[in-house]
């Protein structure tokens, strides 16, 4: 990969989940090296939860917290583990667990006196499958950081080191890489891209230098952003054949990023790269006129897997497991798309088209206008959008 493309990929990683600091290492005459940290998120694999569920499956009548430890060799070997810790984890985490983006009719566990009992065997098996999946993904994410990212960053860094995993919110953890760089590289990030000290996503809008990237460099920028921020989500059934929804990739920008950054990345995707976007999910505080859309914890730029495969040349991810998951989801989507006929097929075709798909946009589209969307402004015909845009 040419160095210009490597730089574009690096900037995508840095804007997605990166921060800049001064290093404690000095370059010359008291001038400190710069330092940046990149964080690759992954869902946390929980050995404690897996061992508890495995043990309770083998004891269908239930066990109290001490008996769970006594009947699990994995837990019994951990001398610091107490029944109180097990009980809290069962009550706060396992009892309320459900697969991501999927509601459940029964809780995973229930309590009968002092005993914890499996309430739904199918859900318990699903939990174990998810834990195995997260374990494998975490292993491969760490391998991705250790190998691919280190190799990619060698032109921008010296003294590259891997940090211990960082715990994050919402059952996430971050595999982090810390890289020192000479002053010339630090100055390049500041002068060319406007990157300065602190978490890049907190204070940065899309650097104007990215506008002069070639089309392939813009794709590499999106690949870096996707590797550091993207996750998969299955759309609701009505975004599909009525029984199964089409898959989405969501670029997740943290809540303390600037909201216009999401609009700018959306514009880059649709206008420069030609990859349609379904919508941006906004968080509390982004909506004008005190409107609160979803009130979520991140901003999501939502892209259909079907559109990625149609409009973005492979690969979309440099991270192997993410690219494999993308292909798996695409194979499922192809089966769903083959089943569509008549009006349903026309509706899905419209849904897969570039945003805005109609002049009558949902109220949250006013947030796009508030933060610089020109596409919405051109079709701002509904009363709420006209009121906001001044038309």
Q: How far apart are CA 188 and CA 197, in angstroms?
A: 13
Is the Cα dihedral 181, 187, 190, 191 positive or negative?
negative
Mean pLDDT of the chain: 82
Query: What is each CA distance from 222 to 196, 273, 279, in whole angstroms?
Result: 21, 10, 17
Q: Which of 365, 343, 201 is nearest to 280 (CA)?
A: 365
383 pLDDT above the threshold of 90? no
For residue 264, give the 3-state DSSP assignment. helix
64 pLDDT above the threshold of 70? yes
386 vs 87 pLDDT, higher one: 87
E strand map for the chain:
18-28, 31-43, 109-112, 115-118, 158-167, 172-181, 198-199, 230-234, 247-254, 279-281, 298-304
Evaluate whether the domain defined by 1-44+122-201 bears CATH number 3.30.429.
Answer: no
Q: Which of 53, 57, 207, 75 is nearest to 131 (CA)?
A: 53
Residue 391's pLDDT band, with cuts at 50, 70 and 90, is: very low
255 vs 95 pLDDT, higher one: 95
49 vs 180 pLDDT, higher one: 49
332 vs 40 pLDDT, higher one: 332
Q: How far apart are CA 278 and CA 257, in angstroms?
A: 20
What number of other Cβ atoms are within 10 A of residue 97's Cβ?
Answer: 19
Residue 164's pLDDT band, with cuts at 50, 70 and 90, is: low
Going from N- to C-terminal start, the domains of the chain cover 1-44+122-201, 47-119, 205-389
- What number is the average pLDDT over the span 145-173? 68
Residue percentage of the chain with pLDDT more than 90: 34
pTM: 0.75
Q: Which of 173-182, 342-351, 374-383 has the highest mean pLDDT?
A: 342-351
List of residues 6+ apart from 327 with CB closer than 8 A: none
Lowest mean pLDDT segment, chosen from 166-180, 305-319, 347-361 = 166-180
292 pLDDT above the threshold of 60? no
pLDDT of residue 165: 66
Query: Helices (DSSP H) in 145-254: which residue ranges?
Result: 150-152, 183-193, 200-203, 215-229
335 vs 145 pLDDT, higher one: 335
The first and second tokens of residue 129, run together, are: 């499958």
- Whether 1-44+122-201 shares its CATH topology with 205-389 is answered yes
Distance of CA 314 to the CA centre of its chain: 19
185 vs 165 pLDDT, higher one: 185
Angle at 324 between CA 323 and CA 329, to 5 degrees: 100
Q: How far apart are CA 281 and CA 273, in angstroms?
A: 21
Residue percentage of the chain with pLDDT more than 70: 81
- What number is the average pLDDT over the span 37-50? 74
For residue 369, give the 3-state DSSP assignment. helix
Structurally, at CATH architecture level, domain 205-389 sits in Roll (3.10)
385 pLDDT above the threshold of 70? no
The first and second tokens of residue 154, run together, are: 């060698």
- What number is the average pLDDT over the span 204-214? 89
């Amino acid at each position: 990969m040419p160095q210009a493309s490597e730089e574009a990929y690096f900037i995508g990683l840095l804007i997605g989940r990166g921060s800049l600091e001064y290093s404690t290492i000095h370059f010359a005459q008291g001038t400190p090296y710069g330092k940046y940290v990149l964080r690759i998120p992954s869902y946390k694999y929980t050995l404690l939860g897996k061992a508890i569920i495995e043990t309770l499956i083998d004891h269908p009548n239930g066990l109290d917290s001490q008996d769970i430890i006594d009947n699990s060799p994995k837990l019994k070997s951990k001398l610091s583990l107490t029944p109180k810790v097990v009980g809290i984890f069962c009550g706060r985490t396992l009892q309320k667990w459900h697969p991501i983006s999927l509601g459940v009719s029964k809780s995973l566990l229930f309590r009968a006196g002092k005993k914890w009992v499996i309430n739904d065997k199918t859900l318990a098996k699903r939990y174990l499958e998810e834990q195995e999946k997260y374990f494998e993904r975490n292993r491969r994410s760490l391998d991705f950081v250790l190998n691919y990212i280190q190799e990619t960053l060698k032109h921008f860094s010296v003294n590259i080191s891997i940090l211990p995993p960082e715990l994050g919110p919402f059952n996430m953890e971050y595999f982090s890489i810390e890289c020192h760089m000479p002053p010339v590289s630090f100055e390049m990030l500041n002068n060319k891209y406007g990157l300065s000290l602190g978490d890049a996503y907190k204070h940065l809008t899309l650097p104007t230098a990215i506008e002069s990237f070639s089309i392939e460099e813009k794709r590499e920028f999106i690949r870096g952003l996707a590797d550091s921020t993207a996750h998969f989500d299955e759309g609701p059934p009505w975004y599909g054949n009525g029984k199964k929804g089409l898959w989405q990739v969501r670029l997740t920008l943290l809540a303390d990023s600037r909201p216009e950054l999401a609009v700018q990345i959306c514009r880059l995707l649709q206008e420069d790269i030609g990859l349609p976007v379904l919508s941006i999910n906004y968080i509390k505080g982004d909506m004008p006129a005190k409107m609160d859309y979803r009130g979520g914890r991140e901003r999501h730029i939502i892209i259909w897997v079907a559109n990625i495969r149609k409009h973005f040349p492979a690969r979309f991810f440099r991270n192997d497991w993410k690219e494999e998951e993308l292909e798996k989801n695409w194979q499922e989507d192809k089966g769903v798309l083959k089943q569509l006929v008549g009006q349903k097929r026309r509706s899905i075709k419209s849904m897969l088209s570039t945003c805005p798909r109609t002049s009558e946009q949902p109220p949250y589209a006013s947030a796009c206008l508030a933060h610089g969307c020109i596409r919405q402004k051109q079709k701002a015909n509904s009363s709420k959008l006209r009121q906001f845009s001044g038309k």
